[in-house]
């Protein structure tokens, strides 16, 4: 029997033959990462269009928002990743366009998507807060599914751990930083060497599901247009702040040791909470 590709040693869970590729029609590889992002986007759009029908809105607007949002997310996510990893690109600018090699910063993708969709809604003379209240919580569905692409890619994992949820990856398959601590504490299974890391993709996927459930419970208590959209940033940012602390592949703010995503998460949580409190107090006056 071959050694497993990925295992959770303390949970007794073993995964054999974990491929990064779903299928290869006509010799073209379709990767799980892109496939799962597509599935997540489809599920998010399904939820948004269902909500649109319930609210008497045009469901096609959300399909158009998805198309523009994906374009903005790709551009924003790539540009932000390059900006925080400039030393890796400054001597070979053509590498900026090699997106198949990886390199998308989530918060940059969100900012790019939000800006693009806002421009689209303004062009259509539609209420940005009203449509954002449906679209932003739906993103949590897409994130919960899409994050599993990191599992198949063996990337975006955390630092070394031997905790209950430790995930073991064959060292030659890992697509991320391998620290000295990981090397000092290799797990040997059937003659193969594994690094043990935090499965941060799993933490984030679970948190997105929890956050979506909390937003659905809160939805009937929403007091002003845009509150649900703000709470998306509050809830996601809160979870991402702590999860980012486990990541082994942190992008740092220029000239500091501060993880960029962790700093942005803190700003988002505090900023959106401040706006919500301010708007709710104004309604009470």
Domain-located, residue 280: no
How does pLDDT run across 115-151, given as a tens digit for each residue?
Answer: 999 999 999 999 999 999 999 999 999 999 999 999 9
Domain that holds residue 132: 6-220
Domain-located, residue 239: no
Mean pLDDT of 156-170: 96
Q: How much is the pLDDT for 187? A: 96
Please tell me the distance from the alpha carbon of residue 118 to that of residue 110, in angstroms, as a whole number. 12
Please tell me the distance from the alpha carbon of residue 274 to that of residue 251, in angstroms, as a whole number. 27
Domain-located, residue 202: yes
Q: Do residues 171 and 70 lie in contact, with contact meaning Cβ atoms separated by under 8 Å?
A: no
How does pLDDT run across 220-252, given as a tens digit for each residue?
Answer: 999 999 999 999 999 999 999 999 999 998 877
Instruction: Pick the closest to residue 143 from 99, 203, 230, 61 (CA basis).
Output: 203
How does pLDDT run across 52-63, given as a tens digit for each residue?
Answer: 999 999 999 999
Q: Do residues 78 and 99 lie in contact, with contact meaning Cβ atoms separated by under 8 Å?
A: yes
Domain-located, residue 226: no
Q: How much is the pLDDT for 44? A: 93
pTM for the model stands at: 0.87
Mean pLDDT of 22-50: 88
Domain-located, residue 209: yes
Q: How many C-beta atoms lie closer than 10 Å to residue 163's C-beta?
A: 10
User: Average pLDDT of the chain?
Assistant: 89
Domain-located, residue 37: yes
Number of domains in the chain: 1
How does pLDDT run across 175-227, given as a tens digit for each residue?
Answer: 989 999 999 999 999 999 999 999 999 999 999 999 999 999 999 999 999 99
Report which secondary-structure segment, H or E, holds 197. strand 192-197
How does pLDDT run across 61-90, given as a tens digit for each residue?
Answer: 999 999 998 899 888 887 877 776 666 666
Please tell me the distance from the alpha carbon of residue 55 to that of residue 160, in angstroms, as a whole number. 47
Domain-located, residue 61: yes
pLDDT band at 164 (very low <50, low <70, confident <90, very high): very high
Q: How much is the pLDDT for 219? A: 93
Domain-located, residue 275: no
């Amino acid at each position: 029997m071959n050694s497993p590709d990925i295992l959770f040693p303390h949970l007794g869970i073993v995964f054999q033959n974990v491929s990064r590729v779903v299928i290869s029609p006509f010799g073209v590889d379709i990767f799980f990462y892109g496939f799962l992002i597509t599935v997540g986007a489809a599920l998010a759009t399904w939820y948004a269009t269902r909500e649109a029908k319930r609210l008497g809105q045009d469901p096609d607007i959300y399909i158009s928002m998805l198309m523009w949002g994906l374009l903005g997310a790709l551009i924003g996510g790539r540009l932000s990743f390059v900006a925080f990893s400039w030393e890796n690109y400054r001597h070979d600018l053509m590498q900026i366009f090699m997106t198949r090699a990886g390199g998308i910063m989530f918060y940059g993708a969100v900012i790019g998507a939000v800006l693009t969709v806002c421009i689209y809604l303004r062009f259509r003379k539609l209420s940005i807060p009203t449509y954002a209240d449906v679209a932003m919580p739906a993103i949590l569905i897409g994130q919960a599914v899409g994050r599993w692409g990191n599992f198949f890619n063996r990337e975006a994992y955390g630092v070394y751990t031997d905790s209950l949820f430790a995930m073991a990856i064959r060292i030659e398959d890992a697509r991320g930083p391998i620290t000295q601590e990981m090397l000092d504490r290799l797990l040997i299974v059937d003659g193969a060497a594994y690094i043990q890391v935090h499965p941060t993709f799993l933490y984030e996927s679970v948190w997105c599901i929890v956050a979506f459930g909390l937003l659905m419970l809160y939805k009937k208590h929403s007091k002003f247009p845009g509150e649900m959209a703000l709470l998306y940033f509050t809830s996601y940012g809160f979870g991402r702040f702590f999860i980012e602390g486990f990541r082994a592949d942190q992008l740092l703010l220029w000239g500091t040791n501060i993880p960029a995503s962790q700093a942005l998460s803190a700003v988002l949580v505090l900023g959106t909470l401040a706006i919500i409190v301010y708007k709710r107090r104004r309604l009470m006056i």
